[in-house]
Amino acid sequence: MRSLPLPARILPLALTGLLTSPASVTAAEATAETAPRFELLSPQIIAWRRDFHQHPELSNREQRTAGIIAVELKKLGYAVQTGLAHTGVIGILEGGRPGPKLAIRADMDGLPVTEEVDLPFASKARGEYLGKDVGVMHACGHDAHMAMTLGVAAALAAQRDTLPGSVMFIFQPAEEGAPPGEEGGAPLMVKEGVFKDFKPDAIFGMHVVSTLPVGTVSLREGGQMASSDTFRIVVHGRQSHGATPWAAIDPIVTAAEIVTAAQTIVSRKLDINKEPAVVTFGIFDGGSRFNIVPDTAELQGTVRAFDPAMREQALASLRSIAEHIAAAHGATVEAQIPLSKDSSNPVNYNDPALTRRVRTSLQRTLGAAHVQEARRWTASEDFPHLGRAIDVPSVYFFVGVTPEGADPATAPSNHSPRFYLDEGALRVGSTAMLQAALNYLNGR
């Protein structure tokens, strides 16, 4: 795999390990002077990432991944707990000096995607998803998240005696969603007591993205990623032969009208001057033969929003549309809107004051030109469940992975079978997170 050079401004800090301390270095940058040289850690971070990439595991099935993480954290001297939310791992490091408590989270699961990138460590893994045999790939970059976070854990462990405060590393399964019928992800980690014995004062997270070039990071204050709700609508009609549709109550026609009418929720019911919102249908399943009107048809999809009131309005409107259109056709609906509490994610909200502190850390580490203002993104994350559970501020930033010379606007996106990560991003992300953590623990 090609690992391109980082922009010139980043090379000194990324490759001289934050140890070189020229007269011009700022006090915030100097907090990292006792960290190990990242040129020594970089090969290990790359090795971790390639191993995780080659052996991805689906949500709630991350046994091998969790085992490796637990072993590595124990080697570094962390107090380790395993088995949270099925396969989750947490590691706690107590610093040698008094200070705040910080949590850093990384997600662990792969996706049911068959890799199409020609790499010597490409995934050949298979798994079962929705009853089907599927390829498995780290198509969203969670392999990089784990590797970079382990690198930060190693750097902090190396300066434990002088480290102020304490740090919890959370390696979370099932960020992509638990399999049907199972619980998982951040909500289950909270439910099973991830913060029972360690309540952090703040939580950090990061995510690699194809929409940024390698060497850059981005973040924004306030709502950065949308809330998400999954829904399921089953229309119950009456079966008949396709030649006598008047004898049926057609659930396919009814469901089609629901899909069409639901397009007015965003375009006609929500005040999108306030915030954006999305209503998307991803599954329309009905019938088994061309000449039979079936008994049922099923719709599934997602609602995304940044404003809680708009979210509630969209969900209520969708339910009303489904019920009234079904009634007009003489059909009934089974409406799970949302599907369940655990299938919903709140807005990924960056605490403004903490975000300003983290932005300063990133700018001093990478150079201001390489720290961008993130655009709001209607994708979602279960990361905010962690901070909301204990009412502490959190910050989440993005790390660019698209190689130099490639256009991030057209690069294969996260979740694509052709998603490609330039490994130069591993140094950028781990260095950025390390500096943000050190500055926070040192009260900067």
Candidate ranges 2-11, 17-26, 105-114; pick with highest mean pLDDT: 105-114
Report whether pLDDT(404) > 80: yes
Mean pLDDT of 351-366: 97
Q: Binning pLDDT at 50, 70 and 90, where does residue 343 land? A: confident
Q: Helix 424-441 crosses helix 38-54 at what angle (to 10 degrees)?
A: 120
Q: Tens digit of pLDDT for each residue in 147-161? A: 999 999 999 999 999
Average pLDDT over residues 368-375: 97
Average pLDDT over residues 328-338: 97
39 falls in which pLDDT band (50, 70, 90)?
low
pLDDT band at 23 (very low <50, low <70, confident <90, very high): very low
How many C-beta atoms lie closer than 10 Å to residue 321's C-beta?
Answer: 23
pTM: 0.89
What are the residue ranges spanned by the domains of the chain? 11-226+347-441, 227-343
3-state per-residue secondary structure call for the chain: CCCCCCCCCCHHHHHCCCCCCCCCCCHHHHCCCCCCCHHHHHHHHHHHHHHHHHCCCCCCCCHHHHHHHHHHHHHCCCEEEEEECCCEEEEEEECCEEEEEEEEEEECCCECCCCCCCCCCCCCCEEEECCEEEECECCCCHHHHHHHHHHHHHHHHCCHHHCEEEEEEEEECCCCCCCCCCCCHHHHHHHCCCCCCCCCCEEEEEEEEEEEECCCEEECCEEEECEEEEEEEEEECECEECCCHHHCECHHHHHHHHHHHHCHHHHHHCCCCCCCEEEEEEEEEECCCCCEECCEEEEEEEEEECCHHHHHHHHHHHHHHHHHHHHHHCCEEEEECCCCHHHCECCEEECHHHHHHHHHHHHHHHCHHHEEECCCECCCCCCHHHHHHHCCCEEEEEEEEECCCCCCCCCCCCCCCCCCCCCHHHHHHHHHHHHHHHHHHCCC
Of the residues 72, 107, 109, 381, which is catalytic?
109
Give 160-212 pLDDT, tens digit per residue.
999 999 999 999 999 999 998 899 999 999 999 999 999 999 999 999 999 99
Given a contact cutoff of 8 angstroms between Cβ atoms, the answer to whether 147 and 423 are in contact is no
C-beta neighbour count of 419 within 10 angstroms: 23
CATH class of 227-343: alpha beta
pLDDT of residue 402: 98
Q: Which two tokens stand for residue 235?
A: 């229309």
Average pLDDT over residues 223-241: 97
Location of structure tokens 């049911």: 112
Whether residue 118 lies in the annotated active site: no
Q: Among the options 29, 175, 381, 382, which is catalytic?
A: 175
Mean pLDDT of the chain: 92
Q: pLDDT of 252-277, one tens digit each?
A: 999 999 999 999 999 999 999 999 99
pLDDT category, 38, cuts 50, 70, 90?
Answer: low
Query: What's the pLDDT score for residue 24?
Result: 31
Residue 6 has pLDDT above 70, yes or no: no
Q: Is the pLDDT of residue 5 over 90?
A: no
Whether domain 11-226+347-441 has CATH 3.40.630.10: the reply is yes
109 is catalytic: yes
